[in-house]
Amino acid sequence: MKKRKIGILVGSLRKNAYSKSVANCLIEIAPEHFDVQIVEIGNLPIYNQDYDDEEIEEYSKFRETIKSLDAILIVTAEHNRSMPAVLKNALDVGSRPYGKSVWNEKPGAIISQSYGTIGGFGANHHLRQVTSFLF
């Protein structure tokens, strides 16, 4: 059976991030027919529309990786009742140049976590708004 490729975007750059632990647990328990990997987003320069006309190596590699995936899973912390900037940046990078978004029609899912009592609801909520437009 052809393996389904799932990419995980981790919304935390912290060395000991809980989000990364959750992502790694999911990789460990994924069924055989899923190839699950974390997609690096911490190396992407902050999105600038001027870059749409340039070749930015990190952007190109990231966009090609996303295109090759069957589905996206986002595992994230919450920053100030929203998604961490690194995650929004990755979503913006993948969405451009205009008309060439790599997110189109990708099945996706979101896991948010926080030690706060509402489990990263703000990040989750904002991600739903953005991904229901992009994916």
Ligand X SMILES: Cc1cc2nc3c(=O)[nH]c(=O)nc-3n(C[C@H](O)[C@H](O)[C@H](O)COP(=O)(O)O)c2cc1C
Give residues 22-51 in contact with ligand X (rule: CB under 6 A). none
Does the protein bind ligand X through residue 127 (CB under 6 A)? no
Residue 12: CB partners within 8 Å, gap ≥ 6?
Answer: 18, 19, 20, 76, 77, 84, 86
In the complex, least distance from residue 28 CB atom to ligand X, rounded to whole angstroms: 17
The smaller minimum CB distance to ligand X, of residues 95 and 113, is found at: 113
Pinpoint the alpha helices (H) of 1-135: 18-29, 57-67, 85-95, 121-134
- Binder of ligand X out of 7, 19, 72, 90 (CB under 6 A): 19
Q: Beta partners for 27?
A: none
How far the first Cα of the chain sits from its last, in Å, is: 26
Does the protein bind ligand X through residue 128 (CB under 6 A)? no
User: Which tokens belong to 109?
Assistant: 């899912």
Does the protein bind ligand X through residue 17 (CB under 6 A)? yes
Give residues 99-118 in contact with ligand X (rule: CB under 6 A). 113-116
Binding site for ligand X (CB under 6 A): 12, 14, 17-19, 77-81, 113-116, 120, 122
